[in-house]
Amino acid sequence: MTRNEFERVWKEYPEKKGKEAAWRSIRWQIKNVEDLADLFKAIENYKKDMVFQRKAFPGLRWKHGSTFFGPNQYWRDFIDYESPDAHKPNKEYKKQTDPVDKEMIPKEDLQNLITSFNSKLKGF
């Protein structure tokens, strides 16, 4: 990896901390054009994941650049990563599989389950 390539990568990464440490680590990890493409893909996937994660955890912080690109190669975890947001089931799927859905359990069966459960509780 050349310094110019690194500068392009650094421009895309959101947390601008630890630049020189990131450069010292990442320059040995990127050996060819495919690795560089994977790195850009990992950054984009990490950004998408953070947007998703911050919906639940608003105070979640970005990894410093020196950590993301560092010797542990954290960025490689995001090459083929898909955000859980991409796997939301549609409403029709939920309706068909939700066991509590009134359409799934007939009222008389539900009443029998409740009666049976209550009678077992009396023994305790």
* CA 30 to mean position of chain CA atoms: 24
Q: How many CB atoms lie within 10 A of CB 95?
A: 12
Instruction: Kindly list the domain boundaries of the chain, sorted by start residue.
Output: 3-86, 89-124
Q: What is the C-alpha radius of gyration for the chain, rounded to an integer number of angstroms? A: 25
Q: What is the largest CA-CA distance in the chain?
A: 75
Q: Which two tokens stand for residue 70?
A: 């560092």
pTM above 0.85, yes or no: no
pLDDT tens track, the chain, 124 positions: 999 999 999 999 999 999 999 999 999 999 999 999 999 999 999 999 999 889 889 899 999 999 999 999 999 999 998 767 655 555 554 545 555 555 566 777 778 878 887 877 776 6
Q: Are 84 and 52 in contact (CB under 8 A)?
A: yes
Residue 46 CB coordination number (10 Å): 22
Angle formed by the axes of helices 33-56 and 3-12, to 10°? 20
